[in-house]
């Protein structure tokens, strides 16, 4: 396809664009890849509808936007029915075999978060491809962190400017074990407002799910400011809510946006393939 055949349709005032005229089952030329990267920086979230991707296609599409991040998974340990799951593709699913979820993050609602914020160098982006979706719910909400920063009232922004926040995340491996998963945790420190490596713009870089506290501040003051910041950053005006269809591929920028998941019926199947892009620099 030629660059000129790609149409970008804005999905909300601040975040998200659906790209039409892109077939990700075929390799893209350098000019098209460059155009897609520019659109990604502009819109933060890209939506490609109606893709019929093989796992190889997802890995190739991931490579358009950066370096595929390795996924820690014991060798030869695949969920039932996924003996051919390619390395570095993660299953996000509530489907259970013998009572054990075959994928990660199986059930229900998730609060707003930045993927891998608990890492020293968080992943720069995430790709998620819908294989099976429930009849309702399981939507993903994306919030533009630049717009939140740009409109933040001074009484919240000024005391947080230049500060570092600490983040914590407890997670469980659902690929083996008893279904409750093996608990693990990780922690990190990053700026409250991150300057994007490529655009140079500042964005809110804390979230309700993972951020513990702002350093060098009374805990009560930190809690008060963070709560006010979350309330502002999660306002519907900064958010695009994606209703998934089978064949949707989404890509989001973890450096300047956060996302959340709505609840969905536990008795219905939801299966997504996920890949992530390596972070290129420590957040500053
Ligand atoms: Fe996430």
For position 130, which CATH number holds? Answer: 3.60.130.10
Residues with CB under 5 A from ligand 1 (ion): 115
Q: Are 248 and 129 in contact (CB under 8 A)?
A: yes
Contacts of 169 (CB under 8 A, 6+ apart): 117, 118, 185, 186, 187, 209, 210
Domain ranges, residue 125: 3-277
- Rounded distance from Cα 114 to ligand 1 centre (Å): 6
Residue 52 lies in a domain: yes
Residue 282 lies in a domain: no
Percent of the chain with pLDDT over 70: 90
Residue 159 lies in a domain: yes
Number of domains in the chain: 1
Residue 283 lies in a domain: no
- Rounded distance from Cα 1 to ligand 1 centre (Å): 31
Q: What is the pLDDT of residue 161?
A: 98
Could you report the per-residue pLDDT of 174-212, keeping only the tens digit for each?
Answer: 333 333 444 557 789 999 999 999 999 999 999 999 999
Residue 190 lies in a domain: yes
Could you report the per-residue pLDDT of 240-273, keeping only the tens digit for each?
Answer: 999 999 999 999 999 999 999 999 999 999 999 9
Q: Are 97 and 269 in contact (CB under 8 A)?
A: no
Residue 258 lies in a domain: yes
- Rounded distance from Cα 115 to ligand 1 centre (Å): 5
Residue 53 lies in a domain: yes
């Amino acid at each position: 396809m030629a660059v000129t055949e790609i149409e970008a349709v804005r999905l909300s005032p601040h975040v998200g664009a659906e790209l039409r005229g892109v077939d990700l089952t075929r390799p893209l030329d350098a000019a098209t890849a460059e155009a897609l990267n520019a659109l990604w920086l502009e819109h933060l979230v890209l939506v490609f509808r109606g893709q019929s991707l093989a796992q190889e296609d997802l890995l190739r599409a991931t490579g358009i936007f950066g370096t595929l991040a390795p996924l820690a998974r014991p060798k030869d340990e695949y969920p039932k029915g996924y003996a051919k799951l390619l390395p570095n593709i993660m299953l996000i699913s509530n489907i259970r075999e013998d009572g054990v979820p075959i994928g990660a993050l199986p059930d229900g609602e998730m609060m707003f978060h930045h993927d891998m914020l608990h890492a020293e160098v968080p992943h720069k982006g995430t790709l998620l491809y819908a294989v099976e979706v429930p009849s309702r719910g399981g939507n993903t909400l994306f919030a533009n962190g630049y717009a939140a920063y740009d409109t933040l009232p001074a009484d919240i922004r000024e005391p947080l400017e230049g500060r570092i926040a600490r983040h914590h995340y407890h997670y469980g491996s659902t690929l083996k074990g008893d279904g409750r998963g093996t608990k693990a945790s990780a922690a990190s420190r990053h700026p409250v407002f991150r300057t994007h490596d490529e655009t140079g713009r500042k964005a809110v870089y804390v979230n309700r799910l993972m951020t513990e506290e702002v350093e060098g501040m009374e805990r009560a003051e930190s809690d008060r400011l963070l709560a006010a910041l979350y309330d502002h950053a999660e306002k519907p005006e900064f958010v695009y809510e994606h209703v998934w269809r089978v064949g949707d591929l989404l890509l989001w920028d973890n450096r300047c946006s956060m996302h959340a998941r709505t609840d969905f019926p536990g008795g219905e199947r939801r299966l997504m393939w996920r890949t992530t892009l390596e972070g290129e620099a420590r957040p500053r």
